[in-house]
Structure 1
Amino acid sequence: MSIRPLLKASLVGMLEEKAQALDALQSLGVVHIIPLAAGPQVEWVDDLGVSPERLRLALQYLASCPKKRRQVTETHHFDLAAVVHAVLDKRHRRMQLEEQRDALVKRIKDLRPWGSFELPGEQGLYGQRLWFYLVPNYRMKEVERNGLVWSVVHRDNRHTYIAVISQEEPRPNQMPVPRTHTGSIPLATLELQLHDIEIELELLDGEREADTRWLYLLQRSLAGNADAAERASVGAVTLDHDGVFAIQGWVAADKADELAAFADREGLALILNEPEREELPPTLLDNPPTLAGGEDVVRFYQMPGYRAWDPSRVVFFSFATFFALILSDAGYALIMGMGLLFYWRRMGSSDSGRRLRILGATLAFFSLVYGVLVGSYFGAGPPLPVLADLQLLDVNDFNGMMNLSIFIGAGHLLIANGINAWRLRGRLPALASAGWMLVIVAALLLWQRGTSLAVFTLGGLGLLLVFACSSERKGQDLRTWLLRALDGLLALTGLSSMFGDVLSYLRLFALGLASASLAVTFNQLAQDVASALPGMGVLLEVLILVVGHLLNFVLAVVSGVIHGLRLNLIEFYNWSLSDEGYAFQPFAKREVNPWTT
């Protein structure tokens, strides 16, 4: 649960060796670059005229193909520029055809009630013309008394399709609605055009599937292409002067020896410095692989500042706990676990997938344990006597579950203020965080035990610490003391926020109860239908159970994710983490993962 300390590294070398040094530094992959000059914002392209963006578009287009061919891994038949150009041309053509198809589908749908016809032209009706109107049925009486010559072409439950025969377009006051533009192309011609477009799209689909054989080589080219583009970008922000170049960046303190060895090997001068107080280095989180899933949750909301603390491990376990309380069913936890097992191997193909599958397994395990404790199995009671003995909680016990939710919320905020007090130890705000902890404990005692001298003493001491220690203003003059008092009064306004944040954890009880109640309701509804309709009722019972529990499972999982994160990233962060930082991004070469067929 730490943020790795960083050092500022400055590398200096000869300008003619700059390209070689940057390539070696990128291969090392341990430095977060600090720009020393304003580089030009231009799109980099390789010697063949292929940019990383064009390569990425071609790769995305082929990767989205449902079926993929066997991969070509040898480059002697591979022309990168020709393949990228051809794939992007087909992509552009496909986008055009899809737009035309969508427009034709809508046009045909609008025109079909009018039937397939061809306009005769101005002389085809002896100077008369056809004017088409889509009139709501309830306004047909206005048409009947307009004095025009018209005929009903089609009628549905909402509209009547009318063709008016007139030399001039009817005046606006003669028809209740504006004229409908049917166009001059017959319906049969539009359907033929749609047929041709769909055939061409099928041909493009076949060509895209054939082109997927280049996916591996394109990905490898993208990695090298993007690496070269990044080297060019970094090369533009180095400081070049009098045949010498300088590059600066942040490096993890435990990687300093590795960087020093690199500098000796490349003939570069290296200077390492501690970050200055006014500098804001990037944040490099340090967690074991089994708990690194908490980092992804933290990054999703807010990266802590370099001088803050890493909440990943606390968020990892508290998120799993909150998710379990909201899911509140062992059966749903088993479904979640089986789904995770199904995708377990596929998720292990990447670092992020391996972190997330461990987080998912933790969520399923916590949910299973809590589901057993509340004795809920798809909304029913324990199926076995041994499981009944393990039921210690009742989700329908309103007072007990409310107490549990509030104690969890209070404990979560106690952890937040405790960590904040430890992090700020030696400074006055640490005592203010300790004061908030005393206030929370006093409020819990007041709620459970009632009024007493010890409770008021504890709460008063906490509020006094908050008032006296929330300001770090220095000085002994009257103005400074008044400002300190004002800071203390402003800090005390957080009392209402603290009360609201603790009560916010009641959503754990409310959402858990809602999930359990819906499960019971679907079970009862299925049972009632089966009893009321012998024979056919069994099929309806199964259908209600499957659809109902699937819907409830999805709602419970979505609620668990949203509100489980919310309690961590709003209420918890509010009392423990205020500094926002940015992630450590090493200047490193990309890895190539072979595509599987």
Structure 2
Amino acid sequence: MIVSMKKLLVFGTENNRKAILEKLQEIGVVHVVPASQEELKGHVDTLEQQEQVARAISILGSFPDKKESVENLPENTVNDIVSWHNTIQKYQEEQNELNKRKEALSMWGAFSTSEWDELQKHGVHLQFVKVSLKQLSQLDSGRIAYKKQIGKDVFAAVLSHKEQYELPDCAQLLPIKKGTVELDREIQELQQKQDELSTKLQQAVVYLPLLQKQQQALQNEQMFCAVESQLLCEQDVFALKGYIPEKQVETLQKEMQSVTAGIMVEEVDGEDDPPTLIQNPKWVQSVVDLVKLYASPGYKEWDTSSSIYLAFTIFFAMIVGDAGYGCILLAIMLGLTGKLKSSEAGQRVYRLMLTLSIGCIVFGAISGNWFAIQMSEDNPLKQFQILGTSKSEEQNLNNMMMLSVYVGAVHLSCARLIQIIRVFPSVFWINQLGWLIMMWGAIAKILWQNDAGLTALLVGAVLAVLFASDHRNIFMRFLLGLLDLLGITQNFADILSYLRLFALGLASTVMAKIFNDLGMQVRDVSPTFGPVLMVLVIFMGHTINIVLAVMGGFIHGLRLNFLEFYRYCFEGTGYDYKPFAKKAQV
């Protein structure tokens, strides 16, 4: 549910400003509203320091942790860490460039340019040239000491005595300043320098906890400066406007008694735009992160968490559609319990995936789908099967299709009912009721072959047209109603969109059956290796299938909520509640 907020005004004198703000930040329950339209920003110097510290933490995070601890952080540690890292990157770039040059010279073998100087002292000149294969004959073959063809080009080492051989125009002289020996030496020197700096970074890991504390202190300072720069100031008096959860008002008033400040708490009125704070039971709260993927509900809207928690679980279970897959997901989550429960976000993921896993097991059990294995009538798992019990496969498929349609109709009906509650007592609630009657009237006529459905369809259409607008002009009201009625195609298209639940679930089952059949076929290939190949094919096949099924469950399960469902009852105009609070120290 969306937590009720109160409007807050805190004011005091300029002399007490710092003490008041520090106390508010310590309590950490007030969402500050900027006095101007500018975004809350801290001092530039603080932001730059925070970026440097964050970068240093990121650099040290790539090294193995050390159990030793230190109490003091030496001066310039942050700058040293960043500088060492930048220097290592610079050396790596130089090393890569040298390796490229060495690779280009590899065709000539290992050599040193210092050897050329000795040759020149004895009147021997060495030239490295490149010439096309067609023009190779223009070179004096007697002077070619070594040659190698690469594609349509020939690379050659040309020797001459006393006087340097004059190359023909077709030959391109390759300038070589350093040989592979010199390049190897430079590469080793750069590697040695990198190792030395890496050792220094490894030794600096002991400062990581202190750097994290410094980062949090800078974040607190940045937020303090940002709030301080956005106060309402008039001579020696300042004021701070914000919002506070209703349940925290008493705590705030009690804690603020230690400082000299005035506090005014008011009800939120129609012109206010408070932030949105969503608090639900921990299992429902696990879906809040998914809700915010699309948008945060406005303060005056409704919390969609409960509806998405239930609907998304059903959609995910229908798309994955296999109890065996649900058991695998459940086992993975139980295996990751320790890691996931170490953080608040991890706990939400853990609870959500447990819910989805159990949903898959339940739906897979009632549809009789366990790794797409054909079960005999005396199988104990068969007693849980409710869906797909007809002897006709075609009838079973039709029943699953109809189930998807009814799930969509019920889901969209809930959206209409929610909208009726939201807009009541304005005339628009009758418009929404008309759409609801019209939808079920069409279902009764088309699917149930009930003539009363046509009457309901017409009645609903009349209500939808007449109450689509509250315009005083009857003619304009009627025209606006007709325009609203054009949405009937979209409404029924949205219902049919829920057929993806059937289609994706069927695709997952068919894929599982195919991999099972492939596994049984390869088993007969060889008495020795056949069983091993069977296990590998079935394991890899089901692994791929479960990954695709889970991806489809998330993507399409959320899509049905965010597009089809939200279209009729949700605007998402809110913004998150972010209190002016200190970061918890490490």
Do residues 378 (structure 1) and 371 (structure 2) align?
Answer: yes
Do residues 281 (structure 1) and 274 (structure 2) align?
Answer: yes
1:592/1:42 CA distance change after superposition, 3 Å: closer
1:531/1:258 CA distance change after superposition, 3 Å: same
Shift of 1:392: 2.3
Specify the alignment match of 1:509 in structure 2: 502
| TM-score, scaled to structure 2 | 0.86
1:542/1:102 CA distance change after superposition, 3 Å: farther
Aligned pairs for 1:175-574 within 5 A: 186=179, 190=183, 193-382=186-375, 385-394=379-388, 397-450=396-449, 452=451, 454-473=452-471, 476=472, 480-574=473-567
Shift of 1:253: 2.2
In structure 1, C-alpha distance between the alignment counterparts of 2:131 and 2:314, rounded to whole Å: 64
Mean alpha-carbon deviation: is it higher for 321-330 or for 8-17? 321-330
Specify the alignment match of 1:53 in structure 2: 51
Amino acid in structure 2 at the alignment position of 1:407: Y
Q: Is the 8 A contact 1:152 1:161 kept in 2?
A: no
In structure 2, C-alpha distance between the alignment counterparts of 1:52 and 1:90, rounded to whole Å: 18
In structure 2, C-alpha distance between the alignment counterparts of 1:455 and 1:391, rounded to whole Å: 32
Specify the alignment match of 1:139 in structure 2: none
In structure 1, C-alpha distance between the alignment counterparts of 2:427 and 2:458, rounded to whole Å: 18
Specify the alignment match of 1:163 in structure 2: 155
In structure 1, C-alpha distance between the alignment counterparts of 2:429 and 2:99, rounded to whole Å: 67
Kindly provide the CA deviation profile for residues 163-206 of structure 1, in whole angstroms up to 9, marking residues without a partner as x.
379947759xxxxxxx9999765455555555555555455444
Shift of 1:508: 1.5
Mean alpha-carbon deviation: is it higher for 504-513 or for 102-111? 102-111
1:330/1:99 CA distance change after superposition, 3 Å: farther
Q: What percent identity do the matched residue pairs reach?
A: 28
Amino acid in structure 2 at the alignment position of 1:367: C
Shift of 1:18: 0.8
Q: Which runs of 5+ in 2 are unaligned?
A: 159-165
Do residues 78 (structure 1) and 73 (structure 2) align?
Answer: yes
Shift of 1:274: 2.9
| TM-score, scaled to structure 1 | 0.84
Q: Which runs of 5+ in 1 are unaligned?
A: 134-142, 172-178
The aligned length equals: 560
In structure 2, C-alpha distance between the alignment counterparts of 1:22 and 1:180, rounded to whole Å: 74
Shift of 1:222: 1.7
Q: Is the 8 A contact 1:44 1:232 kept in 2?
A: no
Amino acid in structure 2 at the alignment position of 1:424: V
Shift of 1:215: 2.4
1:194/1:366 CA distance change after superposition, 3 Å: farther
In structure 1, C-alpha distance between the alignment counterparts of 2:522 and 2:573, rounded to whole Å: 55
In structure 1, C-alpha distance between the alignment counterparts of 2:243 and 2:384, rounded to whole Å: 53
Specify the alignment match of 1:136 in structure 2: none
1:588/1:40 CA distance change after superposition, 3 Å: closer
Q: Is the 8 A contact 2:23 2:256 kept in 1?
A: no
In structure 2, C-alpha distance between the alignment counterparts of 1:33 and 1:378, rounded to whole Å: 54
In structure 2, C-alpha distance between the alignment counterparts of 1:132 and 1:252, rounded to whole Å: 81
Shift of 1:498: 1.2
Specify the alignment match of 1:138 in structure 2: none
In structure 1, C-alpha distance between the alignment counterparts of 2:574 and 2:405, rounded to whole Å: 31
Shift of 1:264: 3.7
In structure 2, C-alpha distance between the alignment counterparts of 1:40 and 1:332, rounded to whole Å: 47
Shift of 1:545: 2.1
Amino acid in structure 2 at the alignment position of 1:585: K
In structure 2, C-alpha distance between the alignment counterparts of 1:416 and 1:539, rounded to whole Å: 52
Specify the alignment match of 2:66 in structure 1: 69
In structure 2, C-alpha distance between the alignment counterparts of 1:259 and 1:290, rounded to whole Å: 29
Do residues 92 (structure 1) and 86 (structure 2) align?
Answer: yes
Mean alpha-carbon deviation: is it higher for 229-238 or for 336-345? 336-345
Q: Is the 8 A contact 1:293 1:359 kept in 2?
A: yes
Amino acid in structure 2 at the alignment position of 1:88: V
Amino acid in structure 2 at the alignment position of 1:54: Q
In structure 2, C-alpha distance between the alignment counterparts of 1:390 and 1:180, rounded to whole Å: 83
In structure 2, C-alpha distance between the alignment counterparts of 1:513 and 1:192, rounded to whole Å: 64
Amino acid in structure 1 at the alignment position of 2:370: Y
Shift of 1:543: 2.0
Amino acid in structure 1 at the alignment position of 2:343: S
In structure 2, C-alpha distance between the alignment counterparts of 1:470 and 1:567, rounded to whole Å: 25
In structure 1, C-alpha distance between the alignment counterparts of 2:404 and 2:373, rounded to whole Å: 23
Q: Is the 8 A contact 1:114 1:154 kept in 2?
A: no
Q: Is the 8 A contact 1:302 1:580 kept in 2?
A: yes
In structure 1, C-alpha distance between the alignment counterparts of 2:176 and 2:465, rounded to whole Å: 76
Amino acid in structure 1 at the alignment position of 2:385: Q
Amino acid in structure 2 at the alignment position of 1:390: F
1:292/1:446 CA distance change after superposition, 3 Å: same
Specify the alignment match of 1:6 in structure 2: 5
Shift of 1:70: 0.8
Specify the alignment match of 2:162 in structure 1: none
Shift of 1:544: 1.6
Q: Is the 8 A contact 1:71 1:214 kept in 2?
A: no
In structure 2, C-alpha distance between the alignment counterparts of 1:259 and 1:391, rounded to whole Å: 56
User: What SS is found at the alignment partner of 2:32?
Assistant: strand
Q: Is the 8 A contact 2:372 2:513 kept in 1?
A: yes
Kindly provide the CA deviation profile for residues 511-562 of structure 1, in whole angstroms up to 9, marking residues without a partner as x.
1122222222112112211202221222222222222222222111111111
